Amino acid sequence: MSEPLHRTLRVGHRVPAFIAAPVVVIALGFLIFLTAVAVLAPRTSAAAPEHPTKGRIPEAAFLANGMDADLVPDFVPVWGRDGTTVAGYIPKAYILGPTLPTVTSSRPEGDIAPVYADDLTTLVGHMYPDRGFVPLGVDPNSIPTIPVQQGPPSSGAP
């Protein structure tokens, strides 16, 4: 009747092994290198120790039962003795106190807090209880005490 059909086998172009093997090894090596770079690369963020945040405490941080520590910048401005200029920045651990259990042990005696310059590393003075900001080189005892009033001014608190 008719002639039998012959199946034709299509074979693609094959790459010789002496070329394919090095290409595969180089490709795998490159992928391993990229993975290592991605895993070992330093992580940076705005709140990382390499890039601390500074600024005023936002209104949203003040809660009825305390303060939302996550909203407080790492360093908060401190007013100078004139009350109009920023003398420096104080670490938030000294403001939040016991709400941050990991930093309370590093607080100096008597709640004397360091005040840093705009670069957040240069020490410019300290905040003293009842005295406020005292620049470096000034005897804290030479600064008059500031009367402290607790509660709103209309409450009649001493």
Mean pLDDT per segment of 10 residues, for the chain of length 158 residues? 60 67 74 69 52 90 84 90 88 74 45 92 91 90 74 45
> What pTM was estimated for this model as a whole?
0.56
The gap from C-alpha 85 to its chain's centroid, in whole angstroms, comes to 25
Q: Which residues neighbour 94 within 8 Å (Cβ) at sequence distance 6 or greater?
A: 107, 111, 113, 114, 127
Give me the residues paired with residue 54 across strands: 75
Domain boundaries, position 91: 59-148
> 75 and 30, same structural domain?
no
Same domain, residue pair 74 and 123 = yes
Same domain, residue pair 33 and 109: no
Can you give the pLDDT at residue 137? 93
Residues 28, 81 within the same domain: no
What span, in angstroms and rounded, lies between the C-alpha atoms of 85 and 78?
A: 9
Q: What are phi and psi of 143, to 5 degrees?
A: -95, 130
Assess if residue 157 is contained within a domain.
no
Same domain for 63 and 140, yes or no, is yes
pLDDT of residue 131: 85
Q: Are residues 63 and 36 in the same domain?
A: no
How many domains, the chain? Answer: 2
37 and 64, same domain (yes or no): no
pLDDT, residue 90, reads 93
Q: Is residue 38 part of a domain?
A: yes
Q: Are residues 106 and 77 in the same domain?
A: yes
Assigned domain for 88 exists:
yes
Q: Given this model, what pLDDT does residue 151 score?
A: 44
Q: Is residue 6 part of a domain?
A: no
b vs e for 65-101, b when ≥16 Cβ sit within 10 Å of the residue's Cβ? Answer: eebeeeebbbbbbbebeeeeeebbbbbbbbbbeeebe
